[in-house]
A and B are shown apart, each in its own frame.
Chain A
Amino acid sequence: MSNTTTNYIGKPASRVDGRAKVTGEAKYAAEFPAPGLTYGVVVSSAVAKGTITKIDTAAALSLPGVLQVFTHQNRPGLAWFDKKYQDEDAPPGTPFRPLYDEKILFSQQPIALVVADNFEVARYAASLVEITYETEPHITSIKNRLHEAYTPKEYKSAEPSPRGDAEKGLAQAEITHEAEYSHPSEHHNPMEMHASTVVLAEDGTLTVYDKTQGVQNSQNYITQVFGLAKEQVQVISPFVGGAFGSGLRPQYQLFLAVMAALELKRSVRVVLTRQQMFSFGHRPATIQHLVLGSTSQGALTAVVHEGFAETSRFEDYTENLVNWSAMLYKCDNVQLAHKLIQMDAYTPLDMRAPGGVTGLYALECAMDELAYKLDKDPLELRLTNYTNIDLSKDNPFSSKELKACYQQGAEKFGWAKRNPQPRSMREGKTLIGYGLATGAWEVNQQKSSAKAVLSPDGQLKVTSATADIGTGTYTIMTQIAAETLGLPLANVTFKLGDTALPQAPLQGGSWTAASVGSAVKAACEGIQEKLLAHIRNLKEGPLAGVQKLEEVLFADGKIILKSNPAQHMLLPEVMRLAGENFIEATVTTKPELRQKKYSMFSHSAVFVEVLVDEDFGTIRVTRVVSAIAGGRIINPKTARSQILGGIVWGMGMALEEESVMDQPYGRFINHDLAEYHVPVNADIHDLEVIFVEEDDDIVNPLGVKGLGEIGIVGTAAAIANAVYHATGKRVRDLPITLDKLM
């Protein structure tokens, strides 16, 4: 019933945590106080590979206020087996162990932690720790090393699934396109630096405020590594200052802070510096080889997509890099490979739309190039190869409104005004280019739990150990709960980010709305059932005689008889008559089996206008229209923000972001926010988001697909394609900086 006042799903709502965020009340990991708090500052390796031959901590220890300098020489005994260090998001291999031994595996490896009474002294003392290394030659590039690439024993996500005979398909092709696409390593760089505040209680238990995308992941890691019971460690993370994947694995500041707290019997805070934010996981650099074959009409006869990606010496990081080329278009012959090349650097880490944003960049640029060879509109080429079946699995899509994305996006953007000739549109010395690309992201539902508690004052408290990294989780869960029980938004509070709460998956993969949302809905339905059980016992009153949930409606703060809406009761009235002080329900939800018969993806069509200065090669993205098929949109306001953010990320990837490896030192040289360029306000012009109607009753009970990632996928390729259209110059190595256009 859409005309009730408590119908919140699908309607814009301001963030319920907005006030906390604009007043500074929202507390992040490094902001929780503790009596007698001490400060740890990390000393990072200056070399990329080698051995520590000497650590001189005497000067640091001589400073008043310095409590200890932890190194591999004096660290406590720790868990022995690799699996104890393997967190929920760990790729196969041997996880890095901070302060494990004298070996240096990557530049900026943490090699000491200085703990002092105050931050300034710890920072100064850290500068006094003298380290002598014996260096070994390092390799920190994948360029010219493709012959060393190997197939990993195990893929973290999807294994490449080829089909047909690509060689035959290419032989049949009338037109072919072959090219190599590449992009550098990138770093997440959330605004909040990774931090952990470990508060030690008198009984020795730890309360850990950690920057993480999953408190339970941090808790498991700590208990396994330090041999503690879960009851001894509570991890709390109510606010996360951005993460984008960087909080999917426990980072070393957590290990170091916990170790120091246990050893010193003090509360400890460790905050990484911005420079140290470049010392752990990052988006891996890839080199991708694409071959497309098609008929003269543009029907694909073969797709070859081979990806080569960096990984560390100690873990085989993979992501779904190439499978997009098997699912996005109709083609019988697809050849895929995803190989790794080891470097003396930290293991890559999932970064917003891992694999998708990079693999689809290559595929969608290749499709654009093929369109020019065919003299066909790039949009037409996509429609020619459109498929309603995921041919990589031979499954129908649970829903796929990509055609509507193309149509609505093209119309809004004015795609029809595009002159197909490259370098044909200009205003004076400004070249104008239009480009488009398709995006896709897999929809996932994970096992999740939530608890709902209804009080006699009509207040509902819902909890789950999930996270809100800026995604709007607090708000949409509040909306789902309020609507399910027909309560005003103001009566509902949602709590997250605490290991004391019901189990939830890591916040990643765009699956939180689907997973935790389903659990929240189910928990509130559990409350409905319990209220119904009491209603069934009512001998008199407006709801007497009601036997089934279908007979009533939870709306406007009431339980309303459907057959006669004038008959209704307040929720607390039912509780009072039943003599209940509170009603609670804890429910765990899992994906339904029938999902297995379908492929579930969100899709997008991204249209971009760029202006390129003919003389200087400067590029401005003046307009972006991103049309999204993302299932049901719970909150159009926060949903739009998610997609806007994704577009901005796509712009960063296309034009700015690059973690520059200084090869002689094996170190990311631009390790700060002045030299690692991300889009700033002045870079952003007209961004438009369209959510196309998409009904899907298969993906999950809410029909939501998740929006954290689909906004970035496709954007970089659309920009690259627009730059080509503007200039006639094809740059196949991101970011497209002006020097590459010269």
Chain B
Amino acid sequence: MQKTAEKENLEKASVALPPTHTVTLKVNNTEKQLQLAPWVSLLDALREYLGLTGTKKGCDHGQCGACTVLVNGRRINSCLTLAIMEEGNDITTIEGLAKGDALHPMQEAFIQHDAYQCGYCTPGQICSAVGLLSEGKAKNEHDIKELMSGNICRCGAYTNIVAAVQDVMQQKGDPANE
């Protein structure tokens, strides 16, 4: 079938690539400049462009929580936001939680309570748990379970994850353990 010139141009236009932009991301207190197309998710920017592979891709649809990071202290699914939207924000990934050799209390608690098996959902669980604590909404074990349910652990380490979170809450004197 013959196509009109106009149609062809339209089709060509539809397969053109978007222009890239200079995007400055502040990740774990370090500013990094990247040349990114607007369609790059924060998750892919971290993993593929910054080499921060601690943040995991488990579904790319905001359904599993493996990609959870902290943005300005709030936990978000990094697969559901575009990198270009996060300019100027404070992004903390699993790589940024420890202070030098000293692990974050939540990281310590996960080791202590064996709150993982394969380890793939673990960075997301830990970031989510850190976010949960700063939200201050979890008052008891039930709340922890409910508010950690956005992070799937296929190995089924939930019992130990809850124990780890409770442990850290207790250290902080949080009411969730009373």
Binding site for B on A (CB under 8 A): 14-15, 17-28, 30-31, 33, 59, 62-65, 118-121, 124, 128, 189-193, 239-244, 271, 273-274, 469-472, 637-638, 640-642, 644-649, 672-674, 678-684, 687
Contact = CB atoms under 8 A, between A and B. Distances in A.
A22 B55 contact: no
B64 A191 contact: yes
B81 interface: no
Nearest to A20: B119
A378 B78 CA distance: 50
A674 B117 CA distance: 22
B153 interface: yes
B59 A672 contact: yes
A227 B8 CA distance: 44
B119 A470 contact: yes
B119 A674 contact: no
Nearest to B118: A470
Given A14-B112, A679-B158, A22 B15 contact: no
Contact of A241 (B11, B95, B119): B119
Contact of B117 (A27, A193, A471): A471
7 contacts: A20-B119, A22-B111, A190-B118, A242-B154, A470-B118, A640-B114, A673-B63
A274 B58 contact: yes
Nearest to A645: B156
Contact of B158 (A64, A189, A648): A648
Given A681-B148, A682-B149, A19 B103 contact: yes
B24 to A, nearest CB: 19
Contacts of B80: none
B151 interface: yes
B144 to A, nearest CB: 8
Contact of A59 (B15, B107, B114, B150): B15
A23 B54 contact: yes
A119 B48 CA distance: 8
B70 interface: no
A241 B120 contact: yes
Contacts of A59: 11, 15
Query: Which among B52, B54, B98, B118 has the greatest number of chain A C-beta atoms within 10 A?
Result: B118
Interface in B12-34: 12, 15, 17
B52 A62 contact: no
Contacts, number: 187
A189 B154 contact: yes
Given A63-B17, A191-B154, A684-B145, A672 B159 contact: no
Given A191-B58, A681-B145, A24 B93 contact: yes
B75 interface: no
Contact of B114 (A641, A648, A682): A641
Given A469-B118, A645-B156, A684-B145, A193 B17 contact: no
Contacts of A469: 118
B53 A21 contact: no
Given A120-B39, A274-B61, A681 B156 contact: no
B39 A191 contact: no
Interface in B63-108: 63-64, 66, 93-95, 97-98, 103, 107
Nearest to B141: A685
Given A191-B56, A682-B145, A28 B120 contact: yes
Residue of B39, B44, B59, B110 with highest tally of chain A CB at under 10 A: B59
A64 B157 CA distance: 44
A240 B145 CA distance: 26
Contacts of A30: 53, 57
Nearest to A188: B154
Contact of B157 (A19, A274, A644, A672): A644
A22 B116 contact: yes
Determine which residue in A24, A63, A645, A648 has the highest number of CB atoms from chain B within 10 A of its CB, and name it: A24
B94 A23 contact: yes
Nearest to B16: A63
Contacts of A638: 114
Given A22-B122, A672-B61, A680-B152, 17 more contacts: A14-B111, A14-B114, A18-B116, A21-B116, A23-B98, A65-B17, A190-B120, A470-B117, A471-B117, A638-B114, A641-B117, A645-B157, A649-B156, A678-B152, A679-B156, A681-B146, A681-B158
B116 A274 contact: no
B47 to A, nearest CB: 7
Most B C-beta atoms less than 10 A away, residue of A19, A191, A242, A638: A191
Contacts of A243: 118
B159 A244 contact: no
B145 A128 contact: no
Contacts of B60: 273-274
Given A22-B126, A645-B157, A673 B111 contact: no
Contacts of A680: 149-150, 152, 158
Contacts of A190: 118, 120, 154
A455 to B, nearest CB: 24
A684 B51 contact: no
Contact of A673 (B59, B107, B144, B155): B59
B51 A22 contact: no
B169 interface: no
A595 to B, nearest CB: 29
A23 B118 contact: no
A672 B118 CA distance: 20
A191 B156 CA distance: 11
Given A22-B111, A241-B120, A121 B17 contact: yes
A65 B16 CA distance: 11
Nearest to A33: B51
Nearest to B15: A59
B104 to A, nearest CB: 8
A119 B95 CA distance: 23
A471 B122 CA distance: 15
B177 interface: no
A359 B167 CA distance: 40
Interface in B114-168: 114, 116-123, 126, 144-146, 148-162
A528 B15 CA distance: 67
B166 to A, nearest CB: 12
Nearest to A652: B156
Given A118-B48, A120-B44, A648-B158, A26 B63 contact: no
B152 A191 contact: yes
B154 A21 contact: no
B145 A22 contact: no
Contacts of A65: 17
B52 A673 contact: no
Contacts of B40: 120
B37 interface: yes
B58 A21 contact: no
B103 A17 contact: no
Interface string B34-52: 0001011000100110011
Contacts of B53: 24, 27-28, 30-31
Contacts of B160: 641, 644
B157 A191 contact: no
B110 A22 contact: yes
A33 B40 CA distance: 18
A674 B77 CA distance: 14
A450 B36 CA distance: 47
A14, A19, A21, A680: most-surrounded residue (chain B CB, <10 A): A21
A672 B119 contact: no
B103 A687 contact: no
Contacts of A26: 119
Give the interface centre of B53, B95, B145 by most chain A CB atoms within 10 Å: B53
A19 to B, nearest CB: 7
A674 B57 contact: no
A636 B35 CA distance: 49
A243 B155 CA distance: 9
B139 to A, nearest CB: 15
A274 B119 contact: no
Contacts of A683: 158
Contact of B110 (A18, A274, A472, A649): A18
